[in-house]
Each structure stands twice: as C-alpha cells, then as structure tokens.
Amino acid sequence: MYLVEEATQLADKVFQMWIHAPQVARHARAGQFLILRIDETGERIPITISAVKGDSVRVIFMTIGKTTEHLSTLKKGDALRDVVGPLGKPSEIRKYGTVVVIGGGVGVASTPIIAREAKEAGNHVIGIIGARNKDLLLLEDEMKEICDELFITTDDGSKGIHGFASTVLEQLLKERELGCVWIIGPAIMMKVTSGVTKPYGVKTFVSLNPIMVDGTGMCGSCRVTVGGETKFACVDGPEFDAHQVDFGGLMQRQRMYVDEEKEALEHFHHPHGGCGCCGGEH
Amino acid sequence: MTDVSEHVTDFNEVNKGLSEENAVLEALRCMNCVRPSCVKGCPVCIDIPAFVEKVANRDFAGAVGVVKENNMLPAICGRVCPQETQCEGSCILARKEKPVSIGALERFVADWEREHGVKTPEVAAPTGKKVAVVGSGPAGLTAAAELARMGHSVTVFESLHAAGGVLMYGIPNFRLPKEIVQAEIEQVKALGVEIKLNHLVGRSVSTEELLAYDAVFLGTGAGLPYFMGIEGENLCGVYSANEFLTRVNLMHANCFPGFDTPVKRGAKVVVAGGGNVAMDAARVARRLGAEVTLVYRRREEDLPARAVEVTNAQAEGVNFVCCANPVQVLGEKTVSGVECVRMEMCELDASGRPKPSCIEGSNFVLEADVFIEAIGQGPNPLLVSMLPALTRERRGNVIVDEDGQTTIARVYAAGDVATGAATVIWAMGSAKKAAAAIDRMLRAE
Ligand SMILES: Cc1cc2nc3c(=O)[nH]c(=O)nc-3n(C[C@H](O)[C@H](O)[C@H](O)COP(=O)(O)OP(=O)(O)OC[C@H]3O[C@@H](n4cnc5c(N)ncnc54)[C@H](O)[C@@H]3O)c2cc1C
Ligand SMILES: Cc1cc2nc3c(=O)[nH]c(=O)nc-3n(C[C@H](O)[C@H](O)[C@H](O)COP(=O)(O)OP(=O)(O)OC[C@H]3O[C@@H](n4cnc5c(N)ncnc54)[C@H](O)[C@@H]3O)c2cc1C
Ligand code: FES
C-alpha cells in the first residue's frame, strides 16, 4: 500500500497528490512516469512524476474518466494499492545552451522537473506554460522560480499572452539560437507546436501518452510509430523526437476504448452490483 | 475426460481432476520399473515411481512429500506440464496402452495437500548471504525456494502487482486457477522468501543496487511480444496475445465494468499462431463471446501447441484455418478484416518441418473486428540491456553455462530469459541447477 500524504485541488478538474513511494522517489528523473492502481478492481494508469521530495512523489492529474475521478476523491491518509516506477527513459538532459520547456493544460505538470534538471545542467531555461484561461493555469509560481524566463499564454487572453505557446515559440525561434525544446501536452497541441520548430531544425522532444497496461514492455499496448518504426512508449519513450512521431496513429489508438470508458464512468457513478462473473465478489 | 464444450462461457477450470478412488486405481497401474524411464523424462527428476506407489497405498501426505523434494510447484506443474512428451511419453505403458497419468496424479496429491493442510519443508540454518532474484515466474520462484531452503536470505523483485509471471498474466484461469498459483506462492513465502511487488529492476532498483547482493538470479522471462510487421497492425482492435491475455487474466477485463480494465471482445476474432499462447488467446476470445478463427501457416499436424489444447480449442468451437498466413490487417480506424494468403509446404527445414511458402494470388479475407497476434515472444530487453557485460545471443537470450552462470561473476540466469520461450518445467529445472550453483559459490567463500 502506498500512502496518500497530501491531496489538493489545483484548478477545475485538476488535482495534485503526494504519494509515499520510496522506490520511485529514490530513482525518479525528469521525463519519467509511474503507474498506479487504486484498488483490487482498478485499472493501471500512467501519470507523470512531477516532483520528488524525500520518499514521496507528486502527481498532477485531470479528471477525465473513471480512474482519475476516483483518484480525485482520495484524501490524505488514504492509500493506493499499487505504485510502480519510475518508468520510461529519463529526458535526454545535457547542456544545449538555451532550452525551452513548454507545457499545455495538464501537461504543465511535467515541466518543473525537466526545467529544474535542465537548469542544473547549465542551460538557460525558458518556460512557456499555457491554459485555456487564467483559472486553469498550473504551477506558475514554481516555474517562475526555476526558469530564467517564463511566458504565460491563455487561449482567451485572461492572463499573459493571448494565444498559444506556438506563437511565443515562433517568436523565440526567430530571435534566438535554441538548443532544444520540450513540448508536453495533449497530442494535438504537441503535433501543432512541434511543427513550428521543424523548419528551424531545432531538436524537439514530445512526451507521448498512449494507452498503457504494464508499462514494462511486455504487452505492446503503448506502441507508437516513430521514424517509421514501431516503438513501445513505456520503455523506448515516453519522450521521442517530435519530428519523427506519427501523431495521427497515436491519437487514433488513444480513442480505442471511448465506448468502454463511458460505460466505466457510468458504472462508477451508478454501480449496479457485482460483475456477475466472479460469484458477486466484486 | 470432461465435456469441454459446456464450459465455453465461463472461466472455471475445465479439467476437474481425479477423485481419490480414481487416483488410487490409476496409481495401481504403475509397473514400478526397476530402471524407470519416466524419471529421465522429468526435467526436475521427481522420483515418480516412489510417489505413485505412495498414492497406491493411500499415503497421500507421503506422496506429496516425495514430489516436493524436487518440485515446489506441483499443483501448477500437474496442470500445465506437457507430460505427453516428458514423463508420460517415456512411461513403459505408453508403448502398449495408455501411460500412467502421472500429471493428473501429481496434481491430485498437490490438491489433496492444499485441502488437508500444507507442511512447510525444513529450512537450513541461516548463512548470512543475500541473494536477489529478479522476476517471480516459475524460474524465479523455484530459485527463491531452493535458495531459501539452503539458508540464504532471498529477496524477489517483481515489476507487476502480482507474483507468478506467465502463470498469472498469461495462462488463463480455466487451465490454471489463479488461487492455486497464489497458494503455491504462499508456500514459497513460508520458507522466508520476501517478494517485493511493483519493483522493476533497472528502474525502481538500480543495477548497482542489484549487483551489491552476494548473488543475483535473473528470471525475467521472455515477455517481449513479437509483431508480424504487417500493414494495419496499429489499428484499434489489434492485440499481441500478451496484451489480450494480460487484460483478461491479470486485469480481469472479462468482468468489465466490475473491474475497470476494458478489452475489445469482438464479434469475430482472428488469432494468428499455432502454439499454446495462440490456443489460450483463442479460447479466451471464445469465452468472451466471439466467433473465433485461428490462422496457422503450416499444416494441422505441425501445430506446436499441446494436442490436448488443440482438441479443447476445437471442442469449444474455434475454427482452424491451417496453411494460411495474415499479410495485412484491413480497416479504417478499427479492424474490419484480415487478409491472408494460402501457404504450401516445401522442403523440410532444420526443425524437420516443411517450410511454408506463400501461394501467389491465393489471397482471401477473413472478416474480423479483433485481430490477435500470437507469433512468439523474446526476452524482455529492459534489464539485460542495462548490464553491458552480460553476453546475449542474436535473439536476445542471455548466454549461460550449464550451471546458469552468465558472463558476469555472481550473476546467474535461467528460465525463458536464457532459453527463449519454453515451458514452466524447463524454467524450473534450469532454475534449480542455477540455485545449486549459487549455493556452491556462496559456500566456497
Ligand atoms: C506516460 C504517460 C504520462 C501521463 N501523465 C499524466 C499526467 O501527469 N496527468 C494526467 O492527468 N494524465 C496523464 N496521463 C494520462 C492518464 O494516464 C489518463 O488520463 C488516464 O489513464 C485516464 O484514465 P481514466 O480512467 O480517468 O479515464 P478513461 O475514461 O479511462 O480514459 C480517458 C482517456 O485517457 C486515456 N487512457 C485511458 N486509459 C489509459 C491507460 N491505461 N493508459 C494511458 N492512457 C489511458 C485514453 O486516451 C482515454 O481516451 C499520462 C499518460 C501517459 C501514457
Ligand atoms: C499464454 C501462455 C501459455 C503458456 N502455456 C504453457 C503451458 O501450458 N505449459 C508450459 O509448460 N508452459 C507454458 N507457457 C510457457 C511458460 O509459461 C514459460 O516458459 C514460463 O512461464 C517461463 O518462466 P520464467 O520464470 O522464465 O518467466 P516468466 O513466467 O515470464 O516470469 C518472468 C517474470 O519476471 C518479471 N520481470 C521481467 N523483467 C523484470 C524486471 N526487470 N524487474 C522485475 N521483474 C521483472 C515479469 O513481470 C514476470 O513476472 C505458456 C506461456 C504463455 C505466454
Ligand atoms: S504498456 Fe505494455 S508494453 Fe508498454
């Protein structure tokens, strides 16, 4: 069992949780994730490790379905059945010169740990964090503290720059010499934003989020096409060279279970007894 | 024999096992040969005539004691071992009539013990040596049990949330009930073995931390699924057998939404492959309610799966299309069909089987909404690739000597990671040898 040490709401539908998981905390690096299972009947879901403190790790998640909704009801003192990690390869951090770390929506959760490691490696770190509006903006103070420069964008202009991260990035690419760019957010945002760096030939990483089961490379659920080859995002990624990624394929596979996901959420809100196939145990 | 077809809607065990009376009658058939060939056929050398004689004498506790001297997981092996090519295949009676049903007897005594109270074997005095075992499949569990009995302090690291390896995530409940696997694992724990779940070695435990143990045993298996590399393979509805079976066996997707993990049940499922894994995937898909067609590239007589599994699959209504091979998965976003080509058999290859080759222009389409590839697995490269001094052969198997010693001092390997995908009992047999070698090494210090 893994103790929930702190659980707070950060914004509409966005929650933050500190979990006691020493074996994860001890080895976690930027870019890695964990897989958790709330209870015996739960699904294994991947979540990025967004900060580490002592024996604990922080995750930030958005409620979009059964498991994340259930997770958002947990309080300090509750426990998760399983947590495994850190999973995936750490971000390729070295001294690039000037780097840009971009987070969109709940993808901002992944940015502080990358920005911090990039800073420690001697880079000049520019952060760009975006949200639909000012109330949904995450981790502004934390990013401000780590980054040498921080840009804020909102889709509705309620804070910072009115527009998308890609607009700011375009400007930076024109004015400065950039060594490397990280983009983390919804698949469509990563696709569009990484399109901006392509003509400049700037190394760009995106963190892919396909559906996973084990997270250790033994099922292939997480397979994505990168540079024409099949890769398992859980062990070969989750970060890949953005300019090689088949985003269309990723987005298609992410939607594989939309009908089942609706049913699971419905069942969570209105449970109708046992499943009928294991003697009513569950 | 039980009538298998009646079970096709549930995941309960198909084979119900022997009654006490029938077990005794079966045991009485044993000739008690002076030079028993059955023992030679057993990869872990169980003293078969001795345990069978005890069954005949109704000394079931004594019988299970004999089995457990050489095999800590008898309820599992009694169910899943290919006895027809091992002990039973070597039985003298096999030549005239039916061999003694050694597997069923092994299972009977193990089940009898579980119902009548399990006796934990004795453990030697502590040696103070620490051994790390990576992976809790049959290889890891066997090495752990052996080393614990020898007095070493053993920690098993398992990346999944349940111990057992393929026994839990791969082999379906109707062949191997999961509570039996867990009961045998409890017996390993009772020897003092600590099992740390949710620990992926190489990530949650660093290689430095691993190599700090007095000895290391790698039992990481062959969990990496191969894909055919054909067009349309990433459409929604295409699974590796590993994923399909893991969703159902480990995550209980058959009980969705009572359990949260979903699986595409499909109305028409096509399975590619001809081994035990393909049979399991096909039989699971049948139980989830689909019409199932299995496509195999050689002839029916070449099917590598156990004969009993093929018979069960057929009895449960799985259609077999032999001498055919998928060449493309059809569909827009989700699978709509599998295009196959007919195969003809040419000259014999190194394995003595005819080599299949495509017949030009013989393409045909099987309608399908789910496609499952069960064409083999290789060693999971994650950990072994982080140990650069570990020599591996072309397919990724870790190279070991006959004691399981790898090219790194103090690091041993056995089971599927060393042999490539094989069987439960070979994993156990090789793990036992490696455990004995580790013990010799630790005591020599
Ligand atoms: C490497 C990685 C890192 C991630 N990091 C974060 C994070 O830091 N914060 C966050 O909010 N979300 C993160 N996600 C996404 C998160 O895993 C999904 O939101 C979550 O699984 C949804 O589960 P659900 O039951 O609430 O929703 P569901 O209704 O089951 O699914 C909603 C959508 O989430 C995706 N999803 C569903 N099941 C899985 C699964 N087992 N694995 C992956 N995706 C799935 C699907 O695309 C689906 O359409 C990450 C995903 C990956 C692969
Ligand atoms: C569907 C299916 C059906 C089968 N049916 C039969 C049958 O009927 N009879 C038979 O004899 N054989 C059968 N086999 C083959 C048999 O199951 C295997 O040969 C056997 O399980 C191999 O044992 P193992 O201990 O080497 O590996 P596995 O059983 O694969 O166990 C390896 C374990 O190591 C864990 N692991 C891997 N890497 C790490 C790491 N880095 N850190 C921590 N843990 C790790 C894995 O999660 C896994 O639990 C079948 C196989 C499959 C897939
Ligand atoms: S999640 Fe199973 S291989 Fe990546």
- State whether A132 and A173 are in the same domain: yes
| DSSP state, residue A245 | B
Q: Which of B11, B199, B260 sits opposite A42 (nearest CB)?
A: B260
CATH topology of domain B227-375: FAD/NAD(P)-binding domain (3.50.50)
Q: What is the structure's pLDDT at A74?
A: 96
Query: Cβ contact (<8 Å) for B381 and A84?
Result: no
Checking if the pLDDT of B177 tops 70, the result is yes
Smallest CA separation from ligand 2 atom 34, residue: B135
- State whether A149 and A72 are in the same domain: no
Q: What is the structure's pLDDT at B1?
A: 41
- Between CA B414 and CA B429 the distance in angstroms is 9
Q: What is the average pLDDT across B251-270? A: 95
Which amino acid is present at B141? L
Query: Cβ contact (<8 Å) for A66 and B256?
Result: no
- State whether A59 and A149 are in the same domain: no
CATH topology of domain B4-116: Fumarate Reductase Iron-sulfur Protein; Chain B, domain 2 (1.10.1060)
Q: What is the structure's pLDDT at A277?
A: 55
Q: What is the structure's pLDDT at A8?
A: 96
- State whether A83 and A169 are in the same domain: no
Q: What is the structure's pLDDT at B260?
A: 93
The token pair at A113 is: 């740990």
- State whether A50 and A112 are in the same domain: no
Question: Does A55 reside within a domain?
Answer: yes
- State whether A181 and A244 are in the same domain: yes
**Residue A139 in contact with ligand 3 by CB distance below 6 A:** no
With CA atoms as reference, the chain B residue closest to A266 would be B257
When pLDDT is cut at 50, 70 and 90, the band that residue B3 belongs to is very low
Q: What is the average pLDDT across B408-419? A: 95
pLDDT tens sequence across B67-99: 998 888 999 999 999 998 899 999 999 888 899
What residue spans define the domains of chain B? 4-116, 130-223+379-444, 227-375
Checking if the pLDDT of B8 tops 80, the result is no
- State whether A74 and A115 are in the same domain: no
Domains B130-223+379-444 and B227-375 share a fold: yes
The token pair at A281 is: 């145990």
CATH of the domain at A44: 2.40.30.10
Q: Which residues of chain A from 237 to 276 reach within 8 Å of chain B, CB to CB?
A: 249, 252-253, 255-257, 260-261, 263-264, 266-267, 274-276
- Strands A161-162 vs A149-154: parallel, antiparallel or unpaired: parallel
Cα A26 off chain centre by = 20
Question: Does A107 reside within a domain?
Answer: yes
- State whether A11 and A115 are in the same domain: no
Query: Cβ contact (<8 Å) for B257 and A260?
Result: yes
Q: What is the average pLDDT across B10-27? A: 90
Q: What is the structure's pLDDT at A281?
A: 45
Q: Using an 8 Å Cβ cutoff, are A28 and A90 in contact? A: no
Residue-number span of the structural domain to which A59 is assigned: 2-87
Question: Does A179 reside within a domain?
Answer: yes
CATH topology of domain B130-223+379-444: FAD/NAD(P)-binding domain (3.50.50)
Closest among B166, B159, B160 to B138, alpha carbons compared: B166
Last residue of a domain, one of A87, A111, A141: A87
- Which residues have C-beta within 8 Å of that of residue A125, sequence separation ≥ 6? A99, A101, A115, A118, A119, A146, A147, A148, A149
- Between CA A148 and CA A145 the distance in angstroms is 8
Ligand 3 atom at minimum distance from A211 CA: 1
Provide block-wise average pLDDT over 10 residues at a time, chain A (282 residues): 96 96 96 97 97 96 95 96 97 96 94 96 96 92 95 92 92 94 95 94 96 96 96 96 96 93 90 56 44
Residue found under tokens 């290889």? B139
Chain A residue numbers touching B234 (CB-CB < 8 A): 223, 225, 230, 249, 252-253
Which amino acid is present at B220? T
Q: What is the structure's pLDDT at B265?
A: 95
Question: Does A66 reside within a domain?
Answer: yes
Query: Cβ contact (<8 Å) for B200 and A83?
Result: no
Q: What is the average pLDDT across B226-251? A: 96
- Between CA B405 and CA B411 the distance in angstroms is 6
- State whether A111 and A74 are in the same domain: no
- State whether A119 and A225 are in the same domain: yes
Q: What is the average pLDDT across B350-363? A: 86
Provide the β-strand partners of residue A80: A2
- State whether A155 and A29 are in the same domain: no
Q: What is the structure's pLDDT at B97?
A: 85
**Residue A43 in contact with ligand 1 by CB distance below 6 A:** yes
Check CB contact of A24 with chain B, cutoff 8 Å: yes
- Ranking B14-18, B141-145, B185-189, B337-341 by mean pLDDT, the lowest is B14-18
User: What total of structural domains would you count in chain A?
Assistant: 2
Q: What is the CA radius of gyration of chain A?
A: 19
pLDDT tens sequence across B92-123: 998 888 999 999 999 999 999 999 988 888 89
Q: Rounded to two decimals, what is the model's pTM?
A: 0.94
Provide the β-strand partners of residue A230: A225
Q: How many CB atoms lie within 10 A of CB A72?
A: 16
- Strands A149-154 vs A124-131: parallel, antiparallel or unpaired: parallel
Q: What is the average pLDDT across B433-438? A: 96
- Ranking A63-72, A205-214, B352-361, B410-419 by mean pLDDT, the lowest is B352-361
- Strands A149-154 vs B224-225: parallel, antiparallel or unpaired: unpaired
Question: Does A214 reside within a domain?
Answer: yes
Question: Does A281 reside within a domain?
Answer: no
Question: Does A33 reside within a domain?
Answer: yes
Q: Which of A230, A235, A275 sits opposite B259 (nearest CB)?
A: A275
Provide the β-strand partners of residue A56: A20, A53
Closest among A214, A195, A194, A213 to A205, alpha carbons compared: A194
Check CB contact of B128 with chain A, cutoff 8 Å: no
Which CA distances in Å does A142 have to A97, A108, A139, B58, B62?
22, 11, 5, 73, 67
- State whether A130 and A71 are in the same domain: no
CATH of the domain at A184: 3.40.50.80
Last residue of a domain, one of A33, A60, A87: A87
Q: What is the average pLDDT across B346-354? A: 78
